[in-house]
Structure 1
Amino acid sequence: MQEYSNIILERVGHIAWITLNRPERLNAMNGALLAEFSHALDVLAASNNRVVVIKGAGRSFSAGYDIAADSDEIGYTAERGPVEDRDHLLYNIDLWTKIWRHPQPVIAAVHGVCVAGATQLASMCDITIVTDDATIMASPALPLGGGYISPLWSHLVGPKRAKLMSFDAGRRISGKTAAAWGWATESVPAEEFENHVRETAQSIARTPASLLKVKKEAINRTIELQGLLTYARMGAETDALLHLTPEVVQIQNLIKTHGLKEAIRLFNAGALEFDEAIQ
């Protein structure tokens, strides 16, 4: 199998396992990881594989897009123009759409934390299995954009819950709640998690690949007719717009100057003052 630096790709029988492999950053997704992830999906799409499972190394599934001070995701307002920023965001949406349109069923196996951009990934998977004690956050702990992630929540949990998770930066729900809301397919105790995911993948893999492909297309088509892929891409435009606001620039600069943890602490303490223009 292909060797990667930021992910691990393994195949056992008809099942492929993609492991997000930056455990020292809680598998936060930077440009290098996303590029390798995209390549792995292409490799598997051209194979005789039947099921893909995506999981995270170490303590968590993924902390979302890497927004640490040294990340290539921070500094976009200064270093990218609005069109370039929009296109950068659309690249991520197109990557998650690869999961949606992948010829093989894709399972997200979520433990630990699953934050912001990582919930986009999981939302586009065909099945999402979570641990009861997982921590799911639709938005990052700081208000750095908007309209980019929450649309992919809306079709799963409804607009009111999607708004709650979007408006309240860093709002958390457990794996049990995520399953009850419909964001996750099912929630299982942590001690049963690995075996349950494996058994589910193995059970699905009994069905021939051609049948699985058509079954997936038939169900996806009903959701696409409701506009899923259109409003997913529209979110890149609103996010790029908000990246240009003075408030978001202020938070970005705070992260770069004081680090992510301190920026989150100050925001949670209500210590940040924003000079908001009268609308």
Structure 2
Amino acid sequence: MNAQAMLASSPLRRADRGGIAILTLDRPQARNALSEGLIGALTAELDAIAQDRDVKVVLLAANGPVFSAGHDLKEMTARRADPDRGRAYFADILERCSAMMKRIVRLPQPVIAAVEGIATAAGCQLVASCDLAVAGAEARFSTPGVHIGLFCSTPMVALSRNLAPKHAMEMLLLGEMVGAEAAARMGLVNRVAPAGAALDEALRMAEIIASKSAHTVRIGKRAFYEQSEMNLDEAYAHASHVMVENMLARDAEEGIGAFVEKRQPVWVGA
């Protein structure tokens, strides 16, 4: 297969706009289901971006009317013919998907989801795993596994870390579709844009973030997730340590100096 054909068949597309990397799920014919190939492509791209200091923000979007329908159930169901009824495969693909979701959380750069259409099951998990999310007005979200005898346990991990417990349990137990405005009230998304304009609004947010010190943003994102797993005393002690180190960074010195001198800062990324 030549390079052009390989690009055309890829389940993921990347475009760079200044310091913003736009990753687009590109399996519209399969409702952008998270197949082995798409999980692998996302993992590889996130690993590359983590090492790329030119990338300051990542946007995650999708091609077609569905953001992502979750795991590729056809791909998974085919493995029921395995001697172990698919047990080893199911464990492996879920571990790989979970590892990809954790890469988003642990990526040095902020990740913003731009959601149009529906995001269900692991697709909803993908949105919840991002640091920020913008939904088009007609976007809808659900964790509908309960309808087919498969509780959305792995999506539950991301949902329970973003939503109030009763909101998360409502989505998980009822499996109903949640509209964009309700998703914003519940904390699953940050903002609702006009239908079709989620990517534009996400880009606007990304450009604001990209104008800040990338070094400071990386410090802040890491510290946010670290302290969230600690008790109150540990969190304050950790945050104080992080802030001391941040104060000693060249970008903090430059930013504070620029504020005092009433000029625009010139970031050096350290």
- TM-score by length of structure 2 reads 0.76
Q: Residues 163-242 of structure 1: matches in 2 within 5 Å?
A: 163-169=169-175, 171-225=176-230
The question of whether the paired residues in 2 share the 8 Å contact of 1:131 and 1:176 is answered with no
> Structure 1 residue 90 and structure 2 residue 75: aligned?
no
RMSD (Å), alpha carbons: 2.2
Partners of 1:52 and 1:118 lie apart in 2 by 17
Instruction: Look up the match of 1:114.
Output: 119
Partners of 2:11 and 2:98 lie apart in 1 by 20
> Structure 1 residue 74 and structure 2 residue 80: aligned?
no
| Aligned residue identity for 1:224 | E
Instruction: Encode CA deviations 1:77-100: one digit per residue, 9 max, x unaligned.
Output: 543554553343122111100000
Instruction: Look up the match of 2:27.
Output: 22
Assess, with a 3 A threshold, how the Cα gap between structure 1 residues 196 and 214 changes in structure 2: closer, same or farther: same
Partners of 1:146 and 1:174 lie apart in 2 by 19
**What's the CA shift for 1:225?**
3.1
Partners of 2:37 and 2:115 lie apart in 1 by 21
Assess, with a 3 A threshold, how the Cα gap between structure 1 residues 50 and 146 changes in structure 2: closer, same or farther: closer
| Aligned residue identity for 1:36 | A
| Aligned residue identity for 1:135 | R
Query: Match of 1:107, SS?
Result: strand
Q: Structure 2: which 5+ residue stretches go unaligned? A: 1-5, 232-270
Instruction: Look up the match of 1:151.
Output: 157
Query: Match of 1:73, SS?
Result: helix
Query: Match of 1:198, SS?
Result: helix
Looking at secondary structure, tell me which structure has more helix per residue. Answer: 2
Tell me the percent identity. 28
Instruction: Look up the match of 1:54.
Output: 60
| Aligned residue identity for 2:96 | Y
Instruction: Look up the match of 1:45.
Output: 50
Partners of 2:159 and 2:122 lie apart in 1 by 11
Query: Match of 1:118, SS?
Result: helix
Partners of 1:76 and 1:222 lie apart in 2 by 40
Number of residue pairs matched by the alignment: 222
**What's the CA shift for 1:46?**
1.2
Partners of 2:47 and 2:59 lie apart in 1 by 15
Instruction: Look up the match of 2:134.
Output: 129
**What's the CA shift for 1:154?**
1.8
Q: Which entry has the higher C-alpha Rg, 1 or 2? A: 2
Q: Which has the higher contact order (CA 8 A, sep 6+)?
A: 1
| Aligned residue identity for 1:95 | M
The correspondence for 1:100, drawn from 100, 105, 111, is 105
**What's the CA shift for 1:191?**
4.7
Instruction: Encode CA deviations 1:27-56: one digit per residue, 9 max, x unaligned.
Output: 111101111111111111111210000000
Worse-matched range after superposition: 58-67 or 35-44:
58-67
Worse-matched range after superposition: 174-183 or 153-162:
153-162
**What's the CA shift for 1:139?**
2.7
The question of whether the paired residues in 1 share the 8 Å contact of 2:39 and 2:96 is answered with no
| Aligned residue identity for 2:127 | A
Query: Match of 2:66, SS?
Result: coil
The question of whether the paired residues in 1 share the 8 Å contact of 2:115 and 2:198 is answered with no
The question of whether the paired residues in 1 share the 8 Å contact of 2:69 and 2:120 is answered with yes
Instruction: Encode CA deviations 1:233-256: one digit per residue, 9 max, x unaligned.
Output: xxxxxxxxxxxxxxxxxxxxxxxx
| Aligned residue identity for 1:62 | S
